[in-house]
Amino acid sequence: MNINIPGVDVDSAINNSGSEELFTELLGDVYKIIDEKSNQVEAFLRDKDIKNYTILVHSLKTTCRMVGAMELGESFFTLEKLGKENDLEQIEKATPEVLSAFRALKPYLEPFAAGNGGPKAAFDKDAVSAILNKLISAIDDFDLGSAEEAARSLFSYSYNQDLAHKMEALDKLVTNLDYVEAKDLAGQILGSL
């Protein structure tokens, strides 16, 4: 596959993620969070909530680096440093440009976000429990590829509305690299099955 995204070092990203398939998954995941995360950054900045702002730009730095957007990752790293220094004036100057570059990725990533619409299998408690256990183990082992894969395979089953919302929330946590929260939620879902 010939992937050409401005500002993204595709080869190093494929190396980082372990395979081209996982890399394209990650691109789809990043596409899904761009608007929400950008809006959150702006909201934290508006509220002068530097602590949460810094946590969020830190996770976006990691996300950008994972998909090979190294320069953008560096920009988020600069925002993170400014956050740690509590330099509100510089943060307010630098943030709009960084978020604009982040949002500019969206049209390039959109084709990778379209692939989640296959037919669903009927809910199978044992199979879903096994996948959730696999996800928790992968998180414990810091095995990003297996965690992504497990989260993805949860979507091959159909759920009631409540469980579907929880699975979407879990997928979002894995996508956002919020592994502690993802592990907690996976444990809660397991307990409720």
d(CA 151, CA 41): 25
pTM of model > 0.95: no
Whether the predicted pLDDT of 2 surpasses 90: no
187 and 151 within one domain? yes
Largest separation between any pair of C-alpha atoms in the chain: 53
79 and 40 within one domain? yes
Average pLDDT of 153-162? 81
CB distance 151 to 171 below 8 Å: yes
104 and 130 within one domain? no
Residue 70 belongs to domain with CATH number: 1.20.120
140 and 77 within one domain? no
Neighbours of 131 (CB within 10 A): 21
Average pLDDT of 8-30? 86
Quickly list DSSP for 18-53. Answer: SSHHHHHHHHHHHHHHHHHHHHHHHHHHHTT-HHHH
130 and 105 within one domain? no
The fraction of the chain above a pLDDT of 70, given in percent, is 96
146 Cβ contact partners less than 8 Å away, ≥ 6 residues apart: 134, 135, 137, 138
Whether the predicted pLDDT of 155 surpasses 80: no
132 and 105 within one domain? no
Flag whether 142 is in a domain: yes
pLDDT tens for 114-151 read 654 455 778 889 999 999 999 999 989 888 778 888 88
107 and 15 within one domain? yes
What range defines the domain where residue 61 resides?
10-113
